Amino acid sequence: MSTPLKDKSTLEEIRSRFDHDVERFSNLETGQQATIDAQLVLELVAKTCARHVHSGGTVLDLGCGAGNFTLRVLQEVGGLNCHLVDLSRPMLERAEDRLRQSNSASVVTHQSDLRTLSFADNSFELILAGAVLHHLRDEEDWRSAFTRFHAWLKPGGRIYVADLCTFDLADVQAVMWQRYADYLVALGGEAYYEKVLAYIDKEDSPRSLPFQLDLLKATGFSHYDVLHRNSVFACYVGVK
């Protein structure tokens, strides 16, 4: 990542890119192919959710995109009251349409930057954050977000995060980043690799997995565990 935080994409630039990418994200099987093990992660989260979330519960999907994360959870859990958050209005409209055609109990959309969201304390049994937290910028952004996630969850509620993560050790980061580069080249060739790496450098500001797990503890979460990690992608759960 060579672009300084102050020069990263603006909210409007991020919103515009996703406004024009709805079709690609509207597929549970291929919608997030640049994310290693995306389908496996969705399955692990959904099947774990089915063991602690019951039909009629309330879920908050942050950066919902076209709704893939919540749709996969609904397949395992059944009718949930769904709150969808995204910068992109076209993404929200597609997600809402797909969820209303599934077995959701209700759907409410919020077009918003997650840093300005406000919900009452103890509102949700479940928070999903798929490939969205890497848009947080400085440490205050991260700490503020995790503090509010903890407050919004009901006692015993859980947050599941699946995202791009860095490594704190430079040599490990270099090895894992090369592994991801090889994956992208195999998936779509050099041009695809260059395209993905360019928007990651411009748009994203991910943090390491230890940083995020430490932040869970610092903001009051009682337990956490790592569900999956492969190269520069990780999935973890935090329990209030």
Q: What are the pLDDT digits (tens) for 162-219? A: 999 999 999 999 999 999 999 999 988 999 889 888 888 888 899 999 999 999 999 9
Q: DSSP letters of 197-229?
A: HHHHHHH----BHHHHHHHHHHTT--EEEEEEE
Q: For the segment 53-82, what is each residue's pLDDT rounded down to a tens digit? A: 999 999 999 999 999 999 999 999 989 999
What is the domain count for the chain? Answer: 1
Of the two residues 35 and 122, the one the predictor is more confident about is: 122
Of the two residues 1 and 126, the one the predictor is more confident about is: 126
Mean pLDDT across the stretch 121-128? 98
At residue 197, φ and ψ (nearest 5 deg) are -65, -30
The two structure tokens encoding residue 30: 């291929």
Helices marked H in the chain: 11-19, 22-25, 38-49, 68-77, 89-100, 139-152, 170-203, 209-218
Mean pLDDT across the stretch 5-16? 72
61 vs 130: CA distance, rounded Å = 8
Looking at residue 105, which CATH number applies to its domain?
3.40.50.150
Domain interval for residue 235: 5-239
At residue 239, φ and ψ (nearest 5 deg) are -115, 130
